[in-house]
């Protein structure tokens, strides 16, 4: 079982501070990368949120939005300055002006440019939000996200399996054509040599060695064997239990299949095999595009 890296989940519940809501969205990314947005004063929950996410999502860019709808009348709605922090800013700015020997005075307009000097009512509820409730909420949303990723993963697996079937068909065509192609090349070379032999003496032993060399140079049996091994390993990864991410492994195997397809194309020297090599590379490219979205 594989999972897509595209998913969405949401959850909400009531708390003493108000209605908590979490949205989790995931998209492609090579590694686990979390972007967490919380109401002012709740940034201390980013650590527990990240840990909860990792239990459900191992790879991808994850966006988490935590919101809090305050209960009516729970607190006043005024905005108040953080006087202690404002005094610290004032002292720091005066020291900077003195040390840098710059003109001008520190004034209210300058201090107002620091947004963290002002506290809204949501800041006061930070202590009232139970981290365990937030963790529970995130896990619920993350579980829904994972379920969606698994459902999309099933569709991806079906498509990838169909691509592998097409690849195996082309490999069978290459394997069937390769021996015949070598015999035809051998006979063509001998015919060309016989035409030249009427004018030039030919060393039969040397000719036999050259034909053997060309046959070895154009042989694609090793590439076919390795290619089939990569396909088998790819299928095994698709059928894994999903306990670990397989996206990177599938990406590596698709690169190795691309390598073998390129070698077969370079050794083809035959129109039918060249067409099969092109078809192989087309299917592999489609696989690589799909694997970009596999966890």
Q: Are residues 96 and 135 in the same domain?
A: no
Q: Give the pLDDT score at 202.
A: 61
Domain ranges, residue 275: 151-291
Please give the biggest Cα pair distance in the chain. 109
Whole-angstrom Cα distance, residue 223 to residue 263? 7
Is residue 113 in some structural domain? yes
Positions of the chain with pLDDT under 50 = 73-76, 123, 125
pLDDT at 76: 47
pLDDT digits (tens, 9 = 90+) for 109-120: 888 888 777 766
CA dist list (Å): 117 to 58, 70, 75, 124, 285: 37, 22, 19, 14, 54
Q: Are residues 159 and 58 in the same domain?
A: no
| Whether residue 14 is found in the same domain as residue 51 | yes
Decide if 2 is inside a domain: no
Nearest to 64 by CA among 39, 34, 42: 34
Same domain, 203 and 96: no
- For the chain, the domain total comes to 3
Assess whether 104 and 215 both reside in one domain: no
Beta strand pairing status for 60-70 and 32-37?
parallel
**Is 276 inside a domain boundary?**
yes
pLDDT tens track for 46-74: 999 999 999 999 999 999 999 988 765 44
Please check whether residues 109 and 126 belong to one and the same domain: no
If you compute the radius of gyration of the chain from its CA atoms, what whole number of angstroms results? 33
Residue 93, pLDDT score: 87
List helix spans (H) across 72-119.
83-100, 108-111
Q: Strand runs (DSSP E) across 115-215, as ranges?
A: 118-119
Half-sphere exposure of 20 (CA within 13 A, CB side): 25
- Structural contact between residues 293 and 156, judged by C-beta atoms closer than 8 angstroms: yes
Question: Does the residue 133 lie in any domain?
Answer: yes
Query: What DSSP state is assigned to residue 71?
Result: P
Q: Clarify whether residues 114 and 204 are in a common domain.
A: no
């Amino acid at each position: 079982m594989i999972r897509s890296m595209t998913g969405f989940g949401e959850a909400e519940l009531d708390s003493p501070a108000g209605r908590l809501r979490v949205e989790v969205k995931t998209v492609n990314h090579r590694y686990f990368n979390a972007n967490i947005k919380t109401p002012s004063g709740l940034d201390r929950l980013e650590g527990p949120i990240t840990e909860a996410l990792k239990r459900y999502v191992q790879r991808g860019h994850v966006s988490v939005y935590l919101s809090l709808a305050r209960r009516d009348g729970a607190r006043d709605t005024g905005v108040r300055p953080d006087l202690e922090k404002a005094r610290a800013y004032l002292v720091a700015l005066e020291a900077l002006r003195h040390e840098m020997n710059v003109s001008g005075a520190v004034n209210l307009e300058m201090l107002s440019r620091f947004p963290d000097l002002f506290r809204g009512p949501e800041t006061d509820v930070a202590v009232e939000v139970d981290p365990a409730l937030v963790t529970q909420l995130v896990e619920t949303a993350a579980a829904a996200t994972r379920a969606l990723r698994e459902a999309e993963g099933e569709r991806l697996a079906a498509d990838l399996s169909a691509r592998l079937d097409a690849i195996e068909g082309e490999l069978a065509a290459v394997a069937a054509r390769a021996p015949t192609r070598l015999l035809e090349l051998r006979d063509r070379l001998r015919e060309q040599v016989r035409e030249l032999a009427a004018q030039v003496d030919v060393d039969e032993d040397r000719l036999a060695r050259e034909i053997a060399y060309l046959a070895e140079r154009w042989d694609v049996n090793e590439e076919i064997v390795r290619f089939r091994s990569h396909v088998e390993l790819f299928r095994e990864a698709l059928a894994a239990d999903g306990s670990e991410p397989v996206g990177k492994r599938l990406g590596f195997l698709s690169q190795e299949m691309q390598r073998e397809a390129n070698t077969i194309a370079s050794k083809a020297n035959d129109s039918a095999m060249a067409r099969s090599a092109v078809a192989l590379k087309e299917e592999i490219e489609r696989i690589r595009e799909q694997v970009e979205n596999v966890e």
